[in-house]
């Protein structure tokens, strides 16, 4: 699969959720003190993301 979520630790030792596409990190969350919080962030995106509004603020 070309896209996936990953949970990694940052330099501070916090858990961070990443969205990766074709081995490139597209976006990531803030750092969390627990892995459960990082997993909850992923679950929130999966639940709420498909319904998210797309807003184009370009002028052309």
| pLDDT tens, position by position, 32-52 | 999 999 999 999 999 998 889
CA torsion 29→26→43→14, rounded to 10°?
-30
pTM above 0.85, yes or no: no
The pLDDT assigned to 32 comes to 98
What would the pLDDT profile of 6-22 be if each residue is shown by its tens digit?
999 999 999 999 999 99
Fold of 3-51: Double Stranded RNA Binding Domain (3.30.160)
The pLDDT assigned to 44 comes to 95
Distance CA 44, CA 13 (A): 22
């Amino acid at each position: 699969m070309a896209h996936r979520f990953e949970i990694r630790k940052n330099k501070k030792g916090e858990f961070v959720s990443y969205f990766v596409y074709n081995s490139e990190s597209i976006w990531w969350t803030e750092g969390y003190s627990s892995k459960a919080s990082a997993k909850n962030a992923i679950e929130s995106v999966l639940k709420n993301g498909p319904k998210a509004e797309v807003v184009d603020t370009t002028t052309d």
